[in-house]
Structure 1
Amino acid sequence: MAEIQPIRAWRYNAGLSQRIDEYVSPLFDVVSAKQRELLYQNPLNSIHLSVPRGDDAAGEALRRLTEWQQSGVVEQDALAGIYVYYQYFRLAGSQREYCRKGFMCHIRAYDWAEKVVLRHENTLPTAVNDRAELLARTQFQTSATHGLYRDEDFELERYCDEAILDPLCQTEEDYQGARDVLAVIQDATVIRRFQEVLSQRQVILADGHHRYEGSLAYRQARMAAEPNHNGHEPWHYHLMYLTNAAADDLRILPTHRLLLELPGNITDAELLERLGQWFTVTSREDAFALPEIIAGKPWAFGLYLGGQPYKLRLKPEVHDQLAWDTTPEVKALDLTVLHYFVLERVLGIVGPDAQRQWSGITYVRNFPECLQRVDSGEARAAIITNEVTMDEVERVCQSGAVMPPKSTFFYPKTLGGLLFTSIRDDEPVPYAPFNPGL
């Protein structure tokens, strides 16, 4: 199954690491344009490597990286290791402090057909090409994708818990309110055990499909150009943050659908009438109670329309009419029901491709924001959803299919800038691949 390798990470020097909050950066698609501009104003922020700007953005990233390496802004650790990464956080309305435990390493960039790394969403070719070009120019990995393995025994967490007692650096509080802590394991025997455990596991890609496919595209291009490669060159590998899918601290938050317009000038009354063909539509009193009303109920949604909240529940007998060519595991999802019966059958946006391109829908994670944008007239309606469960993610991935867009929001998001890794040709692979037969 999955082959992982320890890494000799490049990190901000010791002085800068003491103020790591100033240099880490969020994933590009989870912060506002205003927040991004503030990051770009810091000439040493990691966003200049992960999401460079300019007419030759990849060339600008390479220029800045070279400057940082030569001036000592970033330095490479002397020994290879597995880098432990913990995120401490709270959820709105809860006093519990969660801790998502994981570790960063290199993983072989497996093609999807090998069924070692499994995906759950589609990608956009332009975004993949952008990531592949950046990787080809810099040969530097600037932010880890997020992968999930399952270990009911929680064996690796014991080593991580010991390592995290001696952190390399930590944030006070990142943009999402989490505290991020980085440590390292450099014991060769322990590292080998990490390799052994992962060699028996598949990995589900939680976040970073475009970056992972960028690594795939780069690896495929290098293999085609170098048919005599030995299979262990650094460019075969990809930087990934791995967490245990069996952990309770792995949270997936819902992403609601905001309808900015209704096609064909559909009135509110017409929308309710059309929905009634497929759903039991019940008027409710309190819009803020919608998440609780639908919680845990399959094929149930909240609707906020014209200042009035409703509960929608698919009529069970109509589910068999879901005609998309996909697996039973995908058809069973709440969001598939929503996209098929609401977007296609009620609104006439036919098929997943048309729905991805339709400008009349946007995706919002903040529930009060959904109500506010409808009340302000910015949107016609909000559809409130339940979160996808980890069990559903695993079943869909094992089926070989993908989910509707914006199905999962794994929380909290990982940060860029805690460490970087090189896949340059002269970068040695620290350990021989683990072979369970030896």
Structure 2
Amino acid sequence: MAIIVPFKAVRPTRDKVCLVTCRSYEEYVNAELAAQLDFNPLSFLHILKPAYTNQETVSFEKRYRQVHQKYQEFKNEIILVKDNKPAIYIHKIVTKTHSFTGIIVGTSVEDYRNNVIKKHEDILAFRVQLLKDYMKYAEFNTEPVLMTYPDNKTIENWIYNCTQKLADFEFSTTKKEIHYLWKIEDSLEISWLQNIFEKTESLYIADGHHRTEALKLLSEENTDPENTAKDYILSYLISENNVKIYEFNRLVKDLNGFSKEDFINELSGSFIIENKHKQPFQPSEKHQFGMYLDNDFYSLVLQKDNEVFETALESLDTQILYKKVLLPLLGIEDLRNDERIEYISGKQSILEVKQKIDLGEFELGFILFPSNIEEIKALADNNLIMPPKSTYIEPKFRSGLVIYEL
């Protein structure tokens, strides 16, 4: 049984929304960030990085309080306005290749504690603490946790009918995305949707594990019984069939002392290897891998004759590559911190892998087949954790579009 709640969102005014919203702060390279901060005074980036014009080193707490202060300035200047009634919001994102539509609501921290909201990724304690402190002092959250729910024709039809009406927001971005937002504040309609989700056994975190854990800590620290906002997680709920999952390909800086010939010979104990020469090779199914080494592409197909997968984790391609190649042959134990390995999202062409190796930055590249939602759910259902950088999941939400006050 999943609990969802409406809330009074803070949002940009209709005439300013395309100037206010921004991508996640981490996505900007320095030059792009500087340009936004210099030339767009309405960008939400001014809230996320309020000390841009005064670059002195300050403590985390002071920096986070500056975020809150800048946020209040945007509200005082009527750049951001709080809705009068609690509502839920339907958000549609249209990219060059996909269309995503989901529901923005509050989900229950208690559901997360009780494993109604399920996770599949590991978390870093220091990052969770930073996020918790950030939201504690900033007193808002604007990056929803992406969660999936089982495909539901009733919800799908309801969303379709809602989205036939004029959107509250409709705007384009410099990334050639179109964003739409509909506000649903009718109490009967909200209760109807809540009843549907009460019959939903589980929600699955697709993206936002650290933020969810941070909000749990924030809720546990809350000593004000009147502040129930901290008991809920700003969430973007999307049907399982509407997420897009990409792989993360691997780049390795050396062969750990192996010659090319000896390394390929070692691989042949676990994989059927075919040299594709100059023809770029993209895996087309699970347990198939691409490799780029010394100007040649290779196909690696797992030899399954003696393979017995006892858990969903063991059958995962990223785990297979780790257990059979990265750890025993290349000596890479810590996938998150080892400086000899880097990752490139499957959104980018595999020719990016080739280029980085041809330029001498790396010696070896592995190209993977993307995981699917069923694998993610199987891991979450069995309390198993994916290896780091196993998935890159869309949609990605824009900061400053819908703000949940804490």
TM-score greater than 0.5 by the shorter chain: yes
Q: Verify the 8 A CA contact 2:335 2:388 in the aligned structure 1.
A: no
Instruction: Name the counterpart of 1:172.
Output: 172
Of residues 404, 414, 418 in structure 1, which corresponds to 2:387? 404
Unaligned runs of 5+ in 1: 92-97, 424-438
Structure 1 residue 233 corresponds to structure 2 residue 233: no
| Contact in 2 for aligned 1:262/1:360 (Cα 8 Å) | no
Greater per-residue helix proportion: 1
Give the structure-1-normalised TM-score: 0.84
Q: 1:111 to 1:158 in 2, by over 3 A?
A: closer
Q: Which digits, 9 at most, give the CA deviation of each residue in 1:212-256, with x for residues without a partner?
A: 11111111111xx46xx48x71111111111011x3x32111221
Tell me the CA shift for residue 51 of structure 1.
Answer: 6.1
Counterpart of 1:143?
A: 143
| CA deviation after TM superposition for structure 1 residue 174, in Å | 4.8
Q: Alpha-carbon deviation of 1:40?
A: 3.6
Does residue 309 of the first structure (1) align with residue 304 of the second (2)?
Answer: no
2:299 counterpart of 1:299: no
Cα distance change, pair 339–312 in 1 and its aligned pair in 2 (3 A): same
Task: Summarize the alignment of residues 95-174 of structure 1 with structure 2, pairs less than 5 Å apart.
Answer: 98-110=98-110, 112-153=112-153, 155-164=154-163, 165-174=165-174
Relative distance call for 1:159 and 1:111 in structure 2 (3 A) is closer
In the other structure, the counterpart of 1:209 is: 209
Q: Secondary structure at the match of 1:391?
A: helix
AA matched with 1:218: L
Percent of matched pairs sharing the same residue: 21
1:160 is displaced (CA, Å) by: 2.3
* Alpha-carbon shift at residue 194 of structure 1 (Å): 1.5
2:371 maps to which of 358, 372, 388: 388
Instruction: Say whether the 8 Å CA contact 2:276–2:297 is kept in structure 1.
Output: yes
Distance in 2 between residues matched to 1:67 and 1:144, nearest whole Å: 23
Match of 2:54 in 1: none
Q: Is the 8 A contact 2:277 2:295 kept in 1?
A: no
Q: Is the 8 A contact 1:178 1:412 kept in 2?
A: no
* Aligned residue type for 2:20: Y
1:177-326 to 2 correspondence within 5 Å? 177-201=176-200, 202-222=202-222, 225=223, 229=225, 233-245=228-240, 247=241, 249-263=242-256, 265-288=257-280, 290-291=281-282, 294-296=283-285, 298-320=286-308
AA matched with 2:64: A
Quickly say closer, same or farther: Cα 1:112–1:241, change in 2 above 3 A.
closer
Return the offset for 1:27.
2.5
Q: Are the counterparts in 2 of residues 88 and 179 from structure 1 also a CA contact under 8 Å?
A: yes
Question: Are positions 1:66 and 2:45 aligned together?
Answer: no
**Does the C-alpha gap of structure 1 residues 378 and 329 become closer, same or farther in structure 2, counting only changes over 3 Å?**
same
Inter-partner Cα distance in structure 2 for 1:262 and 1:211: 36
Deviation at 1:9, TM superposition (A): 0.8
Deviations 1:378-430 (A, max 9, x none): 1111100111111111111111111111112112312112111112xxxxxxx
Change (3 A) 1:166 1:275: same
Question: Which secondary structure state, in structure 1, belongs to the residue aligned with residue 307 of structure 2?
Answer: helix
Tell me the amino acid that sits aligned with residue 271 of structure 2: F
Task: Confirm whether residue 371 of structure 1 aligns to residue 354 of structure 2.
Answer: yes
Describe the shift of the 1:271–1:171 C-alpha distance in structure 2 as closer, same or farther (beyond 3 A).
farther
Contact 1:278 1:318 in 2 (8 A): no
Paired residues in the alignment total 392
| CA–CA separation in structure 2 for the residues paired with 1:109 and 1:34 | 38
Structure 2 length-normalised TM: 0.90
Q: 1 CA distance for matches of 2:388 and 2:279?
A: 25
The answer for the alignment partner of 2:341 in structure 1 is 361
Q: How does 1:50-61 map to 2 (within 5 A)?
A: 50=48, 55=58, 56-61=62-67
Q: CA RMSD for the aligned pairs? A: 2.1
Instruction: Give the C-alpha shift of residue 37 in structure 1.
Output: 3.5
1:46 paired residue number: 44
Residue type at the aligned position of 1:407: S
Whether the aligned pair in 1 keeps the contact of 2:90 and 2:182 (CA below 8 Å) is yes
Q: Distance in 2 between matches of 1:331 and 1:399?
A: 12
Which moves more between the two structures, 336-345 or 161-170?
161-170
Write the distance in 2 (CA, Å) between the matches of 1:371 and 1:221: 49
1:37 aligned to 2:51?
A: no
Does the Cα contact within 8 Å between 2:6 and 2:105 map onto a contact in 1? yes
Aligned partners of 2:3 and 2:111 also within 8 Å:
no
**Distance across 1 between alignment mates of 2:30 and 2:385:** 29
What is the SS of the residue equivalent to 2:385? coil
Query: CA shift at 1:347, angstroms?
Result: 1.2
- Aligned residue for 1:183, secondary structure, equals strand
**C-alpha distance in 1, partners of 2:269/2:36?**
49
Assess, with a 3 A threshold, how the Cα gap between structure 1 residues 88 and 209 changes in structure 2: closer, same or farther: same
Change (3 A) 1:386 1:141: same
